[in-house]
Amino acid sequence: MAELQPQSHLLEDRMAHQPEHHQTASAEEHTHPSPARYVFIGAVLTVITGIEVAIYGLSGLGKGLPILLIALSAVKFFVVVAFFMHLKFDAKLFAWMFAGGMAIAASIMLALIGLFNAF
């Protein structure tokens, strides 16, 4: 019987023909915000949250209250997704996939709200 010999040369050949995994990219593509920018973004999110709390305490907005609060929450949501989830800095395909899923989810939510006369 023939003795099995290690075939490490096959693995080396296969790895030699694969593209480099650590491709260099321009500095502009992967520039992330500085820590000061993240503090600024956090401050903006805090201010928007304060506005939401203040608006909730106001009377007289009636049916406009939920719409205004949802709009402010959506702004905060997109700021968090863009900066803290790094979608702003990733490939545009990821942003489009995320936006498409969110559009479908928002459409379903609005359809259900309309269907059950929630407003």
Q: Encode pLDDT of 60-116 as tens digits.
A: 778 788 888 888 998 998 888 888 887 777 888 988 898 899 899 989 988 998 899
CA dist., res. 49 & res. 52, Å (int)? 5
Q: Is the pLDDT of residue 49 over 90?
A: yes
Please state the domain count of the chain. Answer: 1
Q: Within a domain: residue 29? A: no
Tokens of residue 107, six digits: 């459409």
| The pLDDT of residue 41 | 92
Distances (CA, A) of 27 to 30, 89, 92: 6, 11, 17
Q: Within a domain: residue 11? A: no
Q: Is the dihedral of CA 76, 81, 86, 92 positive or negative?
A: negative
Question: Half-sphere exposure of 86 toward its Cβ, with a 13 Å CA cutoff?
Answer: 9
